[in-house]
Amino acid sequence: MSKTITYSQCPVCRSNHISYALEAKDHTVSGEVFPVWHCYNCSCRFTQDVPEASAIGKYYQSAAYVSHSDTKQGLVNRLYHTVRNYTLKAKRRMVEKESGKRKASLLDVGAGTGAFAHEMHDAGWKVVALEPDKTAKENALKNYSLQLGDMSAIFSYKPETFDAITMWHVLEHVHQLHEYIEAFSRILKKDGTLFIAVPNYTSYDAKKYDDMWAAYDVPRHLYHFSPKSLNALVKQHGFKIVEYKPMWFDSFYVSMLSEQYKTGKNNLVAAFWSGLRSNMRTLNNVKRCSSVIYIIKKNLPQQNK
């Protein structure tokens, strides 16, 4: 019988000042309900009673899980693929601009079906891509001729190997949270850049849909970050957030899924207005975006001049 994880402390800051916040349903695979708790110190939320890493694989086994299956079935997934063609190029341009590098070394962690790794490889970058899911690996090989490595490789690279490390909606899935960030600190070059994109439960759409907010995505999402909690996490490992970037399309995608969960049908008009209102409320504060990209650098001591 597989064991589950129940936290007595916050998994980010290890504070004991935690309590129940809400219950969220797994709408994608199992139909099970999981409690989500809140930390009053760093403001992280986290899913309780989640399966251990060795047992959580069955919760990813769904043809509807587009990150692994690459399915185009259903309106929402077709729209996802249409938008992805644009966002892949936007991500590449952002990585090049924020890192100040071209055709350098990149580690893409949680590469899914390999679309972003393929984009960067075609742009001349030396790319290493890692992914735990077998189906996603098969699709990466079939679609892009990419051989994706195992996630455990993170811990075996030599110090200061990579110019950039990317995690696009991956950190919230990782059981070894602190171990991963510590490994990034070791294998990223001194002037390297870490890019982490995660959903933001302090966004307008999260507040609107509450326990039906699709980006809770329990139990696959182990943690539910706010900008404050992500900052608290990376600071513990010698990093600092230097910039916050919005992911404008995520509010629409998440709202479409949330409307399905809430009403049982596609309500594109309601989802569009929800996504638009979420983005409008973000214009003066990127930290309220449905999903946020965090641009992260090593917090190196200042050199005496």
- Distance between CA 128 and CA 138 in Å, rounded? 16
Counting Cα atoms < 13 Å in the Cβ hemisphere of 22 gives 14
Q: Which of 38-47, 228-237, 283-292, 295-304 has the lowest mean pLDDT?
A: 295-304
CB-based burial label for 51 (10 Å; 0-12, 13-18, 19+): middle
CATH fold of 4-298 reads Rossmann fold (3.40.50)
Cβ(245)–Cβ(227) below 8 Å: no
What's residue 20's pLDDT?
Answer: 98
Q: How confident is the model at residue 73 (pLDDT cuts 50, 70, 90)?
A: low
- Distance between CA 194 and CA 297 in Å, rounded? 6
Residue 79 vs residues 76, 86, 253, 257, 269: alpha-carbon distances, Å: 5, 12, 8, 12, 14
pLDDT, one tens digit per residue, over 247-262 is 999 999 999 999 999 9
Q: Read off the tokens for 53.
A: 């890493």
What's residue 74's pLDDT?
Answer: 59
What's residue 76's pLDDT?
Answer: 54
Q: Which of 29-43, 130-144, 194-208 has the lowest mean pLDDT?
A: 130-144
Domain extents in the chain: 4-298
pLDDT, one tens digit per residue, over 246-301 is 999 999 999 999 999 999 988 889 999 999 999 999 999 999 999 999 999 999 87
Q: How confident is the model at residue 80 (pLDDT cuts 50, 70, 90)?
A: low
149 DSSP assignment: B
Q: Which of 82-86, 131-135, 252-256 has the lowest mean pLDDT?
A: 82-86
- Distance between CA 44 and CA 224 in Å, rounded? 6
Q: Which residues pair with 291 in a beta bridge?
A: 199
Q: How confident is the model at residue 181 (pLDDT cuts 50, 70, 90)?
A: very high
Strand 126-130: give its sheet, edge to edge: 126-130, 105-109, 162-168, 188-199, 291-298, 239-246
Give which of 202, 186, 184 is closest to 194, Cα–Cα: 184
pTM assigned to the model: 0.92
- Distance between CA 26 and CA 15 in Å, rounded? 27
